[in-house]
Amino acid sequence: MKIAKWIIKGSRVLIILLAICCLEVGTKTLENKVENENLNKSLDLGAMAAFVDNIDNQNAQQMIEEKNKKLDNIITTLSGNLTGYVYNCPKCSGKLACTSSLDLSNGNVFYYDETYGNVRIVASSNNLPCGSIITFEKDSISSEPVVAIVLDRGVSGNTIDLLVDSNATAYNRIGRSKITYNVIRKGWE
C-alpha cells in the first residue's frame, strides 16, 4: 500500500515536471515566432521608410525646381542703394509697415512666403508695393542670390534696406553699396 501511494505521488511529480517542460518548450517556440514576426515587421518598416524618403527627396527636388523657375520670372530690374537696418533703430517703431503682427524683437529677419518659402525682409519706398519679391546678389550676405520680400517702408527711391540681426551686421557686412536687383513679384498678387 505504501509503495502504491509512493508510485502515485511519483507519477504526479513526473506529470508536473513533464507539463513544465512542455510549457517551457512551447514558450521558447512562441518567443522565436514573435521575434521572427518582429524582425519581418522591422524589415518592412525599413523598406517603407526608404520608400517615403525617396518620395520626400523627389518632392523637395520638385519644389526647388519650381522655386527656381519662379525666380527666373523677372518683371523688372532696378538699380539703387543697399543698406541694412535693425528692427529697433532710432527712427524705427519696431513694427513693420506692411504687416505689424510679425514679432521682430527675437532677432527674426525672415518671413515665410507661401510661394517663395523663407525670404529675407526688406524696406523699400512706395515704388514697390508691400509683398513684392526681389532678388539681388551680395557676397557678404550669401553666396546664393538673396530672395527678399518688401514688408517695411522708410527709404526713398530705389533704395533697399535689408533687415538684419544687429548694427554690427548692418555696418560691417552691408554698409551702403550700389546694387542691381530684380523684381520677380509686384505686391501680394
Average pLDDT over the chain, rounded to whole?
A: 82
pTM metric for this prediction: 0.65
Q: Which three three-digit cell numbers place residue 95?
A: 513694427
Question: What pLDDT shows up at residue 15?
Answer: 76
How does pLDDT run across 110-141, given as a tens digit for each residue?
999 999 999 999 999 999 999 999 999 999 99
How does pLDDT run across 15-36, given as a tens digit for each residue?
776 667 655 655 555 555 555 5
Give mean pLDDT, residues 161-173: 93
Cell 510661394 locates to 115
Is pLDDT at 42 greater than 90 in this prediction? no
CA angle 49, 51, 54 (to 5 degrees): 110
Separation of CA 177 from chain center: 32
Separation of CA 120 from chain center: 15
